[in-house]
Amino acid sequence: MRTTVTLDPDVEEILRARMREQGLSFKEAVNDAIRRSAAGTARAAPFATAPAAMGRSRVNLDRALQLAGALEDDDLLRRMRAGA
């Protein structure tokens, strides 16, 4: 079937990149994208981050909210004294 389709610029970029990377024609890239979407295989992989060791904490994290409150209070007092 032959038809005319107007693509948004970002969609065109995606198709052109797929054409370059996989050596596909425009027709093949469009058909492949539509098939993948219809089959539900176009979903991106779930986002995941790898944990990194940051050394031992110097703050007791059990009292993190108390510490945050104290820091906020100190900052508020400093601004009040400065007249801000």
Other C-beta atoms lying within 10 Å of the C-beta of residue 29 = 19
pTM of the model: 0.44
Per-domain residue ranges of the chain: 9-39
User: Each residue of 11-28: pLDDT tens digit?
Assistant: 999 999 999 999 999 999
Q: Which residue stretches of the chain have pLDDT < 70?
A: 41-44, 84
Report the distance separating Cα 76 and Cα 50, nearest Å.
37
Report the distance separating Cα 71 and Cα 56, nearest Å.
21
